[in-house]
Amino acid sequence: MRKKIIIGNWKMNLDFESSNYLIQEIISKSENINVNIGIAPSFVLLDEAIKNTKYSKIKVFSQNLSEYKSGAYTGEVSASMLLSIGVENVIIGHSERRSIFNENHSILKNKVENALLHNMNVVFCFGEKLEDRKSNNYFKIISKQLKDSLFNLDVNLWNKIILAYEPVWAIGTGETATPEQAQEIHSFVRNLISENYSKTLSEKISILYGGSVKPNNAQSIFSQKDVDGGLIGGASLDSNHFIDIINSI
């Protein structure tokens, strides 16, 4: 059975107080829920989030990390810094990092290798833009995103990887992929892993969907056979919505 997980990507939202409050709400409302739950607060909130979630089942993810190990890189946060405060999980390759901060395949490849070198767990995001979907180019784009940043990895390292399909046109737009569109890509990606590694590995990898997942559409997306959970943006900032989504899996 593949691991099912729902992760809230808080992006650049919340502050010290509101983040602590949301964490307490999620912990108390998820006490009797048997699903893997993650939250990804911004860097400055991670230390407190680790402390606040210590006795809960909530896992804390960083939204990013540096491609470099240490040194003169003003403003960057390294894998070892994250580990030193207890953060063992990181999101890499989010489309906002790719498009706004120009993170290309080689930067993302370095980030993944760096995280894995530090034994961190990686959620690797990929997904096509609207123009790629309209031009029917999306299979090619997605193959390239995965091949260029991940398919160089030794098979043994894949037990530290979770994938997240996030079509750019569905992020923060209110326009979600249909369950069939999500399933089509998830199954395509599983085949790619099978071709490049093995069928056994392809069956083991969890693939999450992200992009305008809300309480009213979560169930239909999560019911698809190759969708193993979600990466939730806006709706994860409201504890009731987030819990409703978690309960939909």
**Any bridge partners for residue 9, and if so which?**
40
Q: Is 229 near ligand 13P (CB under 6 A)?
A: no
Q: Are 53 and 22 in contact (CB under 8 A)?
A: no
Residue 118 annotated to the active site: no
**Annotated catalytic residue within 94, 96, 186, 241:** 94
CB 199 within 8 A of CB 187: no
Which residues share a beta bridge with 208? 164
**Which residues, 6+ apart, have CB-to-CB distance to 89 below 8 Å?**
38, 59, 60, 61, 62, 120, 121, 122, 123
In the bound state with ligand 13P, the residue whose beta carbon lies nearer, of 163 and 202, is 163
Instruction: Confirm or reject binding of residue 172 to ligand 13P (CB under 6 A).
Output: yes
Q: Which tokens belong to 189? A: 């990606």
Q: Which of 67, 103, 128, 166 is catalytic?
A: 166
**181 touching ligand 13P, by CB under 6 A:** no
What crossing angle do the helices spanning 138-149 and 105-117 adopt, rounded to 10°? 40
Q: Which is nearer to ligand 13P, 158 or 242 (CB)?
A: 242
Residue 233: CB minimum distance to ligand 13P, A: 2
Q: Pick one of 93, 127, 210, 229: the residue that binds ligand 13P (CB under 6 A).
A: 210
Please say if 166 is a catalytic residue.
Answer: yes
Catalytically active residues are 94, 166
Binding site residues, ligand 13P, CB under 6 A:
9, 94, 166, 171-172, 210-213, 231-235
